[in-house]
Chains A and B, each alone.
Chain A
Amino acid sequence: MLDQRSSENPADNTTSPASPGLSAVGSRRRRVDPAGRVRGRVTHVGDVDPGSTSTAHVALHRSTRPHARIRSVEVDEALAIDGVQAVVTGADLYAALGEHVLTGPAFQDQPAMAYDRVRYVGEPVAAVIATDLATARAATESVHVDYEDLEAVYDVDDALTGRAFVHDELRPSAVFGDLRHLNGVRDTNVNYEFRLARGDTDAVETAATGVQRRFWCPPTHHVPMELPCTVAWVEGNRLEMLTTTQTPSYVRQTVADMLRLPLSDVQVRTRPLGGSFGSKMYDRLEPLAAAIAWVLRRKVRVVASREEAFLLTTRHGARVTSAMRADADGDLVAATADIIYDTGAYADVGPRITGKSGMVASGPYRIPNVSIRSRCVYSNKPSAGPFRGFGVPQVTWSHESLIDELARRTGEDPYAYRRRHLLREGDVAAMGTVMHSADFTGCLDAVAEAVDWANPPERGEGRWRRGQGIAVGVKAVLTPTVSNAVLQLNQDASASLLISTVEMGQGSDTIMAQIVAEVLRIDSHRVHVVPADTDVTPYDTITAGSRSTYHTGNAVRLVAEQMRERLLALAAEQSGVPAGELRLTEEGISGSGHPEPLRVEDVVLRHFRARGTTLTCASNFTTDWVPYDRNTGQSAKVTEHWFAGAVAVRAAVDTWTGRIRLEHLAVSGDVGKAINPFLVEQQLSGAAITGIGHALFDELVLDQGQFVNGTLLDYQLPSLGDMPDRLTPIIVESPHRTGPFGAKGVGETGILAVAPAIANALRDAVGVRLTELPLTAERVLNAIERKRAEESPQESRQQSPQESQEGNQ
């Protein structure tokens, strides 16, 4: 069952109907077009004319080598096939566009298609353009590439100590000033290093109790159910596209740079996405589709098969070698972490992930001495990029396992021990920023109470053992960023909101309408949010990093407030009552001298003397930060706000099979203020379910740079049967002083602490500490058997051959 906290009434378990009231801020109103979603009538990018005969279909010939120089590409055989219209190679694009074919958010390192060198198995080398997709896909087999193999970098050890380099030199993009010093650096696979130093970590030596481990999180994939799809064409001298992206403003800039066009000559449109979780952002299919459309002057459609979608991006595999120390009183005195993020062949935002996750690697705790080194390395594998949590789940895995073990070593309860050390309002975190609106203790208390932490389960003695585990997580919102909003109030008192936030299931269209409704006192169902279209909707940094509720939400609040002032001014003009004495309510505009309210419809009608007219306002909301010091990682304001979350788990472990069964999982998040509590609960639960996959089985397996399980027949994802017996999402509200109505985002909060909470429950149940994810039945069983052998060596038939392989990848 899905619990709703403090709601005994079963009616609260469903969403509210459209009425009564405005369905504004705080309402559990249904998301936009629920019946359309249930019936499949919401149109996604790939649903727009899928079998179009006026569009050419693109399929890609992909590299079979992890690292090689391209000697030649033979295309004649493919060109001779019926229905094939053209074959474009990476070299063709390079000839037409030069170095501009290289794009990337942090480093300008990724070619639209490989032209001189391939850097991972599956990298596009040539594109076949044909009358239909089946023909194009079949013809890719007839493209032949002659390679000269190069030594490859397969893992983080190769990357750090080997002689092979994925790129000859580092090429930071123009976007981030703090990467400029890396320009031209040669003979390294380390494209970014973040260092944090606070206090004196030599104190580690004198500490009474310490725990040190090496942790490993494998690469994983987002697997949104919708496949990536881009349609691109040339209209006049403009490049136009319809594409599955979370970052339309970024894509417009990238395509404009690549084709050397003014921004006004690039149009990027989206439709609601069928999930994304970080996979459909920055440079995916778009540079390639734009370049091919531009060179051929043809309308082209590129859609990734599921197998190809696995190649487009991944979550960073990460190794964390870390320690936590406490003094004789059990007080935390020091934490260290050495983190390596494997970013694959192209940096994507790996350097950003490395810094922003590295800075929270010691957790949300009061620790006087902290030392962190976080590095991002290239390897010859598909590129890794953002994934719900932005690198933070990998470090949370480390600090929440360490502190749990430390609590046990000091003889304290893991919940109480965390509580004692958690950062409170006004505390300064390890990177030097003051905490505000980050209620870690509230989140921790809520999940502990939900699973009845004070009354732990009977451990049991037979096949099944039970335990409980708990963990917290902290993440910073992406800062600095920019959001804009344009609002058109229609004469009939409905509204059209123009923002570039992309609806992808998180419910942004719904909550933005609720914010407008709250300010303008209209029913939120009368507010339409226009899908992102860079010709129409204004710049917005990205729809990611849980930033939209706060940033775009603030822009939307501001634009609605402007509109309210505008209406009051018009009403003042028309009624003679000073605007300061007028008030906008659900009934209309009223003031002391006007008992009969003026209807908004009439005010606008009287102003323009025409029906169907629109009033327009625009707003901007921009946040800023203090870049962290390059040597110490210190910043007085590293982020605009914090996400705080906690997870508690009751689990049963089958000691015969190693299987973990989740009996109850509670997940809490401090969201400042829930604009729509139902959607917030879905974000918390949904993130937790993704986290359960990462904890128990979700893993991309590579062998010499080649995916072993890159299809959904082989790649396991959570399904209904993997649900905990009970799942309880809990909203914690510690209002943010500048959030819209106190609100912050929530998309990532629920995923942060899931894996360590489950591992801590496993530790509680059977006494084994695993440091490698996922917690597969095999790993659990091996650990249990190892422990048994250690405890009674004479009874075990043989010493367990499985030595610990912590973080060997």
Chain B
Amino acid sequence: MSRISLVVDGNRYVAEITDSALLLDVLREQAGATGVREGCGVGACGACTVLVDGVSVSSCLALAERYDGARITTASGLPADDEVVESFVECGATQCGYCIPGFVMMAHELLTENPEPDKEDVVRHLDGNICRCGTYAEIRRAVLAAAEKRRAR
């Protein structure tokens, strides 16, 4: 067992963890971040994606002990006027919604790296995420709309 501290969506947590504990489980079970979800356990679906200092991480593959002191952002912790969240809502880019927080985090990373993405950029960056309800057209439109919204602000 060891002790790590995490800042999750601006709140500090101290977690007691085993050596093999996954970041996903620590976030869900000890930080209450249940919007971070397991879909495959092998880093192949993107449902567990969080941003660590702005960079996307598949938390189902990440050993928690490596993230001592990290600042972690989940979709729940985004600001009230977040452009990506707003655009997803406006474009109806959810069905069941289980996978959507992962798409939101990938969209954030993309827009940080590339504020003016085109359709192909969106496809390339978000192609590793699976939405089994098939909300892809709405998601693609939402990410482009978020980029536009950001530029306008």
Interface residues of A (CB under 8 A from B): 1-2, 13-15, 30-31, 34-44, 46-47, 50-51, 134, 222-227, 272-275, 277, 305-307, 504-507, 678, 682, 685-690, 711-713, 717-721, 723, 727
Contact = CB atoms under 8 A, between A and B. Distances in A.
Contacts of A504: 96
14 contacts: A34-B89, A39-B85, A40-B35, A40-B36, A46-B37, A51-B30, A223-B130, A274-B37, A306-B39, A306-B40, A688-B134, A713-B40, A717-B130, A720-B139
Given A40-B35, A41-B35, A505-B133, A306 B41 contact: yes
Contacts of B131: 225
Contacts of B65: none
B98 A30 contact: no
B85 A51 contact: no
A34 B92 contact: yes
Contact of A40 (B25, B41, B75): B75
B98 A44 contact: yes
Given A39-B75, A690-B134, A273 B126 contact: no
A689 B98 contact: no
Contacts of A224: 96, 98, 132
Contacts of B44: 711-713
Given A14-B92, A711-B40, A719-B136, 17 more contacts: A14-B91, A34-B89, A34-B94, A38-B93, A39-B104, A41-B76, A51-B29, A223-B130, A223-B132, A273-B96, A275-B132, A306-B38, A307-B41, A505-B97, A685-B137, A711-B42, A713-B42
A50 B129 CA distance: 23
Contacts of A38: 75, 85, 88-89, 93-94, 97, 100-101, 104
Given A505-B133, A721-B123, A723-B136, A272 B96 contact: yes
A40 B74 contact: yes
Nearest to A687: B134
B49 to A, nearest CB: 11
A259 to B, nearest CB: 30
A225 B28 contact: no
Nearest to A29: B92
B137 A712 contact: no
Contacts of B76: 39-41
B23 interface: no
B20 interface: yes
B112 interface: no
A686 B29 CA distance: 32
A37 B94 contact: yes
B95 A686 contact: yes
A221 to B, nearest CB: 10
B28 A13 contact: no
B69 interface: no
Nearest to B138: A2
Contacts of B38: 46, 227, 306
B132 A277 contact: yes
Given A44-B98, A274-B97, A31 B92 contact: yes
The 4 closest A-B pairs by CB, nearest first: A40-B35, A505-B96, A51-B29, A274-B98
B92 A678 contact: yes
B141 interface: yes
B42 A720 contact: no
B95 A712 contact: no
A36 B133 CA distance: 17
A689 B134 contact: yes
Contacts, number: 184
A372 to B, nearest CB: 31
Q: Which of A39, A40, A305 has the most CB of B within 10 A?
A: A40
A682 B95 contact: yes
B47 interface: yes
A507 B95 contact: yes
Contacts of A507: 95
B2 to A, nearest CB: 16
A536 to B, nearest CB: 23
Interface string B38-77: 1111101101000000000000000000000000001110
Interface of B: 18, 20, 25, 28-30, 34-42, 44-45, 47, 74-76, 78, 85, 88-101, 104, 122-124, 126-141
B89 A35 contact: yes
B77 to A, nearest CB: 8
Nearest to A683: B95
A30 B126 CA distance: 24
B102 to A, nearest CB: 9
Contacts of B126: 720
Contacts of B35: 39-41
A42 B44 CA distance: 23
Contact of A686 (B89, B101, B128, B134): B134
Nearest to B128: A719
B135 A686 contact: yes
Given A30-B89, A227-B38, A712-B45, A2 B141 contact: yes
Given A39-B85, A225-B39, A719 B92 contact: no
Nearest to A727: B137
A689 B20 CA distance: 37
Contacts of A712: 39-40, 42, 44-45, 130
A40 B34 CA distance: 7
Contacts of B136: 689, 718-720, 723
Contacts of A723: 123, 136-137, 140
B42 A225 contact: no
Contacts of A223: 130, 132
B85 A720 contact: no
- With most chain B CB atoms within 10 A of its CB, the pick from A41, A273, A686, A687 is A686
B41 A305 contact: yes
Given A15-B92, A39-B35, A306 B42 contact: yes
Nearest to A48: B34
A2 B134 CA distance: 12
A682 B92 contact: yes
Given A273-B96, A505-B133, A719-B127, A13 B75 contact: no
A721 B42 contact: no
A225 B137 contact: no
Contacts of A713: 40, 42, 44
A335 B42 CA distance: 47
Nearest to B45: A712
A663 B140 CA distance: 17
A220 B89 CA distance: 32
A227 to B, nearest CB: 6
Contacts of A44: 34, 37, 98
Contacts of B74: 40
A46 B36 CA distance: 11
B121 to A, nearest CB: 11
A226 B96 contact: yes
A690 B131 CA distance: 10
B16 to A, nearest CB: 11
B34 to A, nearest CB: 4
B145 to A, nearest CB: 8
Most buried by A among B78, B89, B92, B134: B134
Contacts of B97: 36-38, 40, 42, 274, 505
A41 B32 CA distance: 11
Given A35-B85, A41-B35, A223-B132, A720 B41 contact: no
B34 A720 contact: no
Contacts of B123: 720-721, 723
B92 to A, nearest CB: 4
Contacts of A2: 137-138, 141
B96 A682 contact: no
Contacts of B124: 721
A718 B131 CA distance: 8
A507 B94 CA distance: 10
B43 to A, nearest CB: 8
